[in-house]
Amino acid sequence: MKVPFLDLSAHHQPMREQLDAAIRDVIDSNAFASGPFVAAFEREFAQYCGSDFAVGVGSGTDALWLSLLALGVGPGDEVITVPSTFMATAEAISCCAARPKFVDIDERTYTLDPNLLEAAITPKTKAIIPVHLFGQCADMDPILEIAARRGIPVVEDACQAHGALYKGRKAGAMGVAGCFSFYPGKNLGALGEAGAVVTGDQGLAEKIRILRDHGQHRKYYHSKIGWNARMDGIQGAVLSVKLKHLDVGNVKRHSHALLYDQLLGETLEIITPFEAPYGRHVYHVYAVRVQNRNQVLQAMSDKGIGCAIHYPIPVHLQDAYRFLGCEKGCFPVAETCAEEFLSLPMFPELTHAQIHAVADELKLCISSRRPVSKCLK
C-alpha cells in the first residue's frame, strides 16, 4: 500500500465548498490586503488561544521577527533558543541583529531543557524562545519562572503547536507573545503563507501591527521603520473556515499517534514519541527515532511510504551559523536526535489501514537491518 506523507487534497475536500465561498467573499469585497477578513480571523484566533489579541502577519518567520523587534531586541543582544528547530527561529533573532544562544533539548520531549536554561543567561540575554517542537509544548512553568525572576520576556515558538495544551493552557498564550505559522501543511494551514502573533499585551500588539505595515500608525504616517508583513485577506478568510475544523483534526492526529504507539511500541529499535504528562500533544509531526535512519528512509520510500526528516542538521551546525563557533558535540541531545529522527505520515485523514501499513513496513525495514549497533530503549 502506498501512503503519502501528507495529503492536503483529502484534508481540503470536505470543506471545499466553505473555502470556495470564503474566497468568493473576499473577491466580491475586494478586501485583499489586511482588512475585515483578517481582523475577523484575528479575533477568532485570539479567543481560541485564550489570549486577548492576535496580529495576522505574512508568515511564522514574520511573527517571530516582529515580536522580537517589538520587544526591543537589537544589536549586541542575545536570545536563547534551541538548536533543534526549523531555521526560522534563529533567523528571526539574526534579522534583529542579535545573536542566537542555544540550549540543548530534553531527550524525551525534544524541547528546551529547563535545567540548562539558567546557566545560559547572561547580561546580554534579552529574550527566551522555547520551541514547541512537533506539536508538544515545552515545559513552560520552570522556563517562565526563571525568565520572570531574571526579568526576561518569553516568546513562544508555537509554529508547530496549534491547539497544543500545557496544564490546560493553550500553546502561545503563556509567554509575552506566541508565534504561529499557517504554512499549508500545519495543523492549521492557510492556502499559502501566513502567520500570527498572539499576546495579552495591548501595547506589544499595537507595535507589531505598526511594524507589519511599513511602520505606519496610520496611512502615510510612519512612526517606525517597519516592513510589509501583512496577512492577505484570502488567507484570513480561509483560516477562519479552517479554524473551525482544527480541534477535530487534532483529536484525529492524537488518535493516530496512539495507534502508531501501539503498533511500534514493542519494537526495541524504535523510539516512539513521548507525550509529557503536563500537556496534550497535537502531533504536527510524528517523529520516531531509529538507527541507520537514512537507509530506513530510503527503504520506506522504495515501498511507497512517504516519510521525511525533521531536521537533519541542527541549527548550530548549519553553515550559516558557523560564525558562532559551535562544533559537533556542543549540544549532544539535539545532534543525536537529528541523526535519528524519522517522521512518519501524519495527517487527520489517515486511515487505520494506512497506519498499519506504515508500521508494518517500518518494522520490516528495521528487522532486515539487524543487528543494530546499539539498543535504543
- pLDDT number for residue 161: 98
Q: What is the mean pLDDT of residues 269-274?
A: 98
Q: What is the pLDDT of residue 373?
A: 41
Mean pLDDT of 50-64: 98
Ordered by start, the domain boundaries in the chain are 11-104+112-240, 247-367
The pLDDT-based confidence of 370 (bands split at 50, 70, 90) is low
Give residue 372's pLDDT.
41
The model's pLDDT over 284-326, given as tens digits with 9 standing for 90+, comes to 999 999 999 999 999 999 999 999 999 999 999 999 999 999 9
Whether pLDDT at 238 is above 80 = yes
Alpha-carbon 176 to chain mean position: 17
pLDDT band at residue 368, thresholds of 50, 70 and 90?
A: confident
Mean pLDDT (the chain, rounded)? 96
Residue 166 DSSP code: E
Cell readout for 42 is: 484575528
Flag whether pLDDT at 369 surpasses 90: no
Q: Which CATH superfamily is domain 247-367 in?
A: Aspartate Aminotransferase, domain 1 (3.90.1150.10)
pLDDT at 371 over 90: no
Classify 11-104+112-240 by CATH class.
alpha beta
- pLDDT tens digits, 117-172: 999 999 999 999 999 999 999 999 999 999 999 999 999 999 999 999 999 999 99
Q: pLDDT at position 169, please?
A: 98
The rounded distance, in Å, linking the Cα atoms of 271 and 248 is 27
User: What DSSP string runs through 35-62?
Assistant: SHHHHHHHHHHHHHHT-SEEEEES-HHH
**With 80 as the cut, is the pLDDT of residue 374 above it?**
no
Residue 193 has pLDDT above 50, yes or no: yes
Confidence tier at 375 by pLDDT (50, 70, 90): very low
Is 173 in contact with 313 (CB distance < 8 Å)? no
Which amino acid, residue 18? Q
What does the pLDDT average to over 362-376?
68
CA distance 108 to 285: 15
Instruction: Look at phi and psi of residue 34 and say left if phi exceeds 0, alpha if psi is from -120 to 50, else beta.
Output: left
Query: Tens digits of per-residue pLDDT, 59-81?
Result: 999 999 999 999 999 999 999 99
pLDDT, position 177: 98
Segments of the chain assigned E as strands: 53-57, 78-81, 99-102, 125-128, 155-157, 165-166, 169-170, 177-181, 195-199, 216-218, 221-222, 279-280, 286-289, 341-344
Q: Please tell me the distance from the alpha carbon of residue 212 to that of residue 227, in angstroms, as a whole number.
A: 5
Residue % of the chain over a pLDDT of 70:
98
